[in-house]
């Protein structure tokens, strides 16, 4: 009787092992089928939205530590336009966009001459974990 019980347990274990093997195969297929998102080609409008990178100590620290890029953008651009344009231009994923209007400042030189620095709109763009860009390509 003890032998019969052992045979029954072996038969019960075998189907479970087969099911586990099938699940592992399915998981492996899912992992291999993971697609990389292809971004569209840039259009002329994208170059009107993203004007230039903003290079400061703070923006460089954000780029190195937090994977965030700071750029000057068109004054009329909104977050959605900025995100889509950046993705098309640099072919990287964007997770978040923060927008700030930098106000104009008046500057004096030598106490006698006064001028002003124009205001602009800047965007801090958070890149996806796997996304990285090189702003200083030669």
Domains defined for the chain, CATH in brackets: 44-127 (3.30.70.330)
Examine the pLDDT at 13 and tell me if it is beyond 70.
no
Q: For 61-98, give one letter per residue: b (16+ CB within 10 A) or e.
A: ebbeeebbbbbebbeebeeebbbbbbbbbbebbbeebe
pTM as predicted: 0.67
For 78-129, the pLDDT digits (tens) are 999 999 999 999 999 999 999 999 999 999 988 888 999 999 999 999 999 8
For residue 18, what pLDDT is reported? Answer: 63
Alpha-carbon span 63 to 46, nearest angstrom: 21
């Amino acid at each position: 009787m003890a032998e019969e019980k052992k045979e029954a347990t072996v038969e019960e274990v075998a189907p479970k092992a087969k099911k586990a093997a099938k699940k592992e195969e399915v998981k492996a297929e899912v992992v291999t089928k993971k697609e990389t998102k292809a971004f569209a080609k840039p259009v002329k409008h994208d170059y009107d939205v993203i004007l230039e990178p903003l290079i400061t100590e703070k923006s460089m620290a954000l780029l190195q530590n937090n994977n965030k890029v700071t750029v000057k953008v068109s004054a009329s651009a909104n977050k959605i336009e900025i995100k889509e344009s950046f993705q098309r231009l640099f072919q990287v994923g964007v997770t978040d966009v923060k927008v700030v209007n930098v106000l104009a400042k008046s500057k004096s030189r030598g106490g006698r001459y006064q001028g002003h620095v124009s205001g602009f709109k800047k965007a801090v763009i958070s890149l996806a974990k796997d996304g990285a860009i090189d702003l200083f390509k030669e």
